[in-house]
Amino acid sequence: MKKMSHYVGLAMFLVFTAACGSQPEMDTVAAGQDVALTRADGGVVEGKVASVDDKSVHLATGRTTRSIPKDQIVDLKVVDEGKPVDLPPVAKFREYTVPEGTALSLRLATAINSGTARVEDRVEATLTEAVSVGGAEVLPTGSTLEGTVAAVEASGKVKGLASITLHFTSLAAAGRDDRYDINATYSETAEATKGSDAKKIGIGAGAGAAIGGLLGGKGGAAKGAVIGGGAGTAVVLSTRGEEVERPAGARLTVMLKRSIDVRVPIG
């Protein structure tokens, strides 16, 4: 029994020693060093050390800074430029931050029309260009975005331009199971039709003058011009302006309003 207890005690000591020895020496890392941090969940975050405090390591990753709690970190490696990082077996995926303000090039899968659309109508689109961070492709072409019509205004007869706003809230990476909450919008307002309206009124006046001239000389021409102008104006007042209309397959660009952390499987 004593011998068995001795072996059990020795085994527990070795496990404890191994666990302690596996803890990365985070406080010895200097600000400005490039490191790769591996978390217990298998995520690897690479960046430049901005600072280290009692609870977290703060890494500058591109245009953003991420704070990684020390109690989540199981491995830390200093990165030498040009040399591959020897990651631990627990590492499963790399984490990249796609920063706020990143432009996403899309192709609509859902047609939109300000004349028929309603708020909360669902819309869908796909990425036409992959998104890369630090030279790594993190969101492939074909990734799917989903959202809704956030606001819409049909064209008015007298005034008021048509407009529509799309709000994308979800992004699914092509070829992977991961989905991310996003905040990206697209807004468009129809072009004003003042120039074509003026032509309609002018054409109406000219046609009226020509008809009036045939019927009653100069006086008839003057009256015909007034009548014709009125007819042209009536056409304008009774005709709605242009709608915002984009068919399925149309291309557009949206901007991320907040950054997103994307996971890319290792290997």
Write the CATH number for 26. Answer: 2.30.30.100
**Which pLDDT value is given to residue 123?**
98
Asked whether the predicted pLDDT for residue 19 surpasses 90, the reply is: no
Q: What is the pLDDT of residue 72?
A: 95
CATH number for position 112:
2.40.128.260
pLDDT at 68 over 80: yes
Domain identity same for 77 and 45 = yes
Count how many residues are written for the chain: 267
What does the pLDDT average to over 232-240? 46
Same domain, 149 and 198: no
Provide the pLDDT for residue 22. Answer: 46
Chain center to CA of 147: 11
Do 144 and 259 fall within a single domain?
yes
CA distance 81 to 189: 48
> In this structure, is residue 174 part of a structural domain?
yes
Give the confidence band of 237 by pLDDT, cuts at 50, 70, 90.
very low
Return d(Cα 242, Cα 114) in angstroms, integer: 9
How far apart are the C-alpha atoms of 54 and 146, rounded to whole Å?
40
pLDDT digits 0-9 by tens, 181-221: 999 999 999 987 644 444 444 545 555 454 455 455 555 55
State which amino acid sits at residue 247: P
- Average pLDDT estimate for 95-114: 96
pTM of the complete model = 0.70
Rg (CA), the chain: 33
| Total domain count, the chain | 3
> Does the structure show a pLDDT above 60 at 239?
no
Residues 260 and 165 in one domain: yes
Query: Is residue 158 very low, low, confident or very high in pLDDT (cuts 50, 70, 90)?
Result: very low
Structural domain contains residue 98? no
Q: Is residue 172 part of a domain?
A: yes
b/e code 70-85 from CB counts within 10 Å (16+ = b): beebbbbbeeeeeeee
Residue appearing with tokens 């690479």: 46
Distance CA 31, CA 6 (A): 45
- Residue 91 has a CB neighbour count (10 Å cut-off) of 19
For 5, half-sphere exposure in the C-beta direction (CA atoms, 13 angstrom radius) is 2
Give the span between the Cα atoms of 229 and 217, in whole angstroms: 18
What is the pLDDT at residue 134?
Answer: 83
Q: Within 13 Å, how many C-alpha atoms sit on residue 229's CB side?
A: 8
Confidence at residue 29, expressed as pLDDT on a 0 to 100 scale? 76
Among 26-30, 129-133, 196-200, the range scoring the smallest mean pLDDT is: 196-200
CB atoms within 10 A of CB 3: 7
Average pLDDT, the chain: 80
> Same structural domain for residues 215 and 188?
no
Instruction: Kindly state whether residues 152 and 216 are assigned to the same domain.
Output: no
Task: Single out the residue of 149, 183, 179, 180 nearest to residue 169, CA to CA.
Answer: 183
- DSSP structure string for 8-48: HHHHHHHHHHHHHHHS--GGGPPTT-EEEEEETTSEEEEEE
Q: Would you say residue 97 lies in a domain?
A: no
Structural domain range at position 222: 194-240
Please give the structure tokens belonging to residue 29: 């890392």
**What is the b/e burial string over 183-201, where b = at least 16 CB atoms within 10 angstroms of the residue's CB?**
bbbbebebeebeeebeebb
Percent of the chain predicted with pLDDT > 70 = 71
- Rounded Cα gap, residues 139 and 173, in angstroms: 6
200 shares a domain with 73: no
